[in-house]
Amino acid sequence: MKIDKILKQMSLEEKIALCSGASFWETKQFEKYGIPSLFMCDGPNGLRKQERGSGADMLGVNESCPSVCFPSAVTVAGSWDPDLPKRIASAIGEEAKEQGVGLVLGPGVNLKRNPLCGRNFEYFSEDPYLTGKLSAGFIRGMESTGVGTSLKHFAVNSQELSRFNSDSILDDRTLRELYLTAFEIAVREGKPATVMCSYPKLNGIHCSDHKVLLSDILRGEWGFDGMVVTDWGAMNDRIWGFRAGCDLNMPGGSAYMEKAVLEAVKTGVLPESAVDDSASRVLKLVFRAAETLKKDAFCDYEAHHMLARDAAEQGAVLLKNEDAVLPLKETDQIAVIGSMAKKMRFQGAGSSHINPKKLSQPLDFLPGAVYAPGCDEHGDTTDMLIAEAVRAAGNAKIAVVFAGLPDRYESEGFDREDLKMPEGHLRMIDAVADANPNTVVVLLCGCVVECPWADKVKGILYMGLPGQAGGEAAADLLYGRVNPSGKLAESWPYSYADVPSSEIYGKTKDALYEEGIYVGYRYYDKAGVPLRWPFGYGLSYTSFTYSDMKAEGRNVSVTVTNTGSCPGAEVVQLYVAAPGSGLHRPKRELKGFQKIFLQPGESKKVVFELDDRSFALWQEGWKIPGGSYTVQIADLSVRMEVTGEQIPAPAWQKNSWYENCQGKPSKSQWEAVMGRPYEPAVLKKGSFTMDNTVEEMKDYSLLMKIMYKAVEFTVARGFGGKIDYENPEFRMLMASSAGSPLRSMQISGGMPDGLMQGLLEMANGHFLRGIKKIRMSFSKS
């Protein structure tokens, strides 16, 4: 083989170097071996290519090449249609080829464990089955163009707080049934070219160093044959990374631990075959990309804009439609309220931030409407703005309010503080609803928000973050040119206090998964907690009935009929409820779904085929408890006898939180689930490591306090000298610099070995030793 021949010709130093990037977005080129460079970039909801030398960054702060901005995953997930992300990814792949990109970093597959996660807009769902199926669709679409995908962030990366060096602590059953299942489905069914390992540790081991995760499970159990790349700056120990099967360290430029790896191979600590395996996988991807990019590429960006429009329409969820206030009639005199109607929130902030080819605003597609801003773009308002909005609403037949979350409320790099909407938006909605009983709210936000005003308005249309064509899509949906068919991919509680992890999420550096498998609807169903809107909920301008549900073996069928007056799509959802005895389980779990389109009066038979995993749970392997299961579709159900084994309840289960989900779990109960105690690491001067951050150490070390202020000053220079923690980009940059471990700062900053190690020595009180290391780093570089 070509790759084997090249590896035999390359020196050990060259093979090690090949497994680190050349720059922020590129792999290394070796002309003498015919090895080209591979260019990669972000791209979950559009291509974010930054040209060479243009100020590359991983946070979407600096400019990128124009591309089509598709709806974020939060909106795409509302479609419940794997074909939609497949079509989107195929379009992104075509744009990637035209722009010379061989690898696109997406999709994001982490579960929405808690609605405060600042990056939830990039993820699909709280449910692993739905997430896995949608992700597999995305991967199939992209890979079909010859452009590779990078499934991320592997694994258990569900909070932004201390994401660079936190530790995700959870039991094996929760890991397998929830947090790995989505990745497993995506790998087995989608077959991505690469998987991206995440920043946090997993039960004490960095994901970049985790052999069980990257080799035993990913490659051994799931059959993954592609390359593993780090998240940017996520590499911990390069020697352990090679052992684990972590192939490519990104970004490039630092030569991080390359000399240590060379010495480890020479002394027999690390087998050269581990380096060869990683180098071989890098070469496989590089040559595939080169072959793809040889061919001429053409993009129909206007067609892609229309696809973005279709995606925004298919993913929108109609949450309320009292008295059939929607769809609007062309003759209705409407008032449009809210600055978001004129400057729509259409995408999230961070690495997924796209420079859109074009951008449609809702107000431009609502001709004849009377407009009042109601608030400013930050979500603040004044008495004057409210009075203007009230006047406009009071003189209209129907008032349509555009509201949600401005950029500063949710972003990569930090988690939200609560589920509240801006005070200005709440005042605006209340005032307009008081002035006009026929008020409709169009929600633009990337995650769950509390909606105390929901009972005061007649219509609610949730559009998430609808991408560059969101303005056109909003008008089509409001006027009924498109029938809403989306369903919620996550539960919407009445208040944050109702969330099972509300008392622990974001309260500690480590991510403590005390709620176990009871995330989202798995918890709300079992606890009997009422919801504003449940998982899988969504209305339509037409109506559907379900009938004739049958089970034959493991095949389940049901007939769905459109009983309304207009065409529409319906998502048929199948849930499995396990027998009530034995080891604790959720009341029901999603195990199948199909989206169908029906004309008025039309019926269709929908068939599902269940498999072993539809009934299995994890207990040191996948096991099927035998017994009588209930299969549920809408308000219909059938019983199904399943042959299996008896899995008794453990002694600790009786009267525990996990048996009934009442209240909150105690630490002792959680430790019983894990089978081990948990004690957080204690930070103290003299024991700092390369895994600690400047932000952590500044309270213990004068040097690190000075470094923190220096970083803050440097970041502020990009914002006119203003230290502005209200600005999401400022907060992201601080979190990704002063809030990242010293090792990550070295890798991302392209710094030589020894510099950060010297600063670490000084922070630990060894000033002279630190100076010596720093001098040596500069003399070698």
Report d(CA 35, CA 393) in Å as an integer.
64
Indicate the burial class of 314 (C-beta count within 10 angstroms; 0-12, 13-18, 19 or more): buried
CB 94 within 8 A of CB 86: no
Tokens of 612: 């072993």
CB 164 within 8 A of CB 412: no
Tokens of 711: 């970083």
Helix (H, G, I), strand (E, B), or coil: what is residue 4? helix
CA distances from 574 to 117, 185, 602 (A): 28, 17, 21
In 3D space, the residue among 350, 351, 365 whose CA is nearest the CA of residue 402 turns out to be 365
Q: Tell me how far apart the terminal alpha carbons of the chain are, to the nearest angstrom.
A: 36
Q: Give the H/E segment covering residue 762.
A: helix 755-763
CB 213 within 8 A of CB 170: no
Phi, psi of 487 (to 5 degrees): -130, 145
Number of H helices, E strands in the chain: 24, 26
Query: Cα angle at 404 between 355 and 344, to 5 degrees?
Result: 35
Q: Catalytic residue, from 231, 247, 310, 415: name it.
A: 231
Tokens 């195990």 locate to 591
Q: Give the H/E segment covering residue 444.
A: strand 439-444
Active site residue 525: no
3-state secondary structure 192-253: CCEEEECCCEECCEEHHHCHHHHHHHHHHHCCCCCEEEECCCCCCCHHHHHHHCCCEECCCC
Helix (H, G, I), strand (E, B), or coil: what is residue 435? helix
CB 547 within 8 A of CB 633: no
Q: In the β-sheet with 555-562, what is the strand arrangement from edge to edge?
A: 544-552, 555-562, 603-609
User: Which residues participate in catalysis according to the annotation?
Assistant: 231
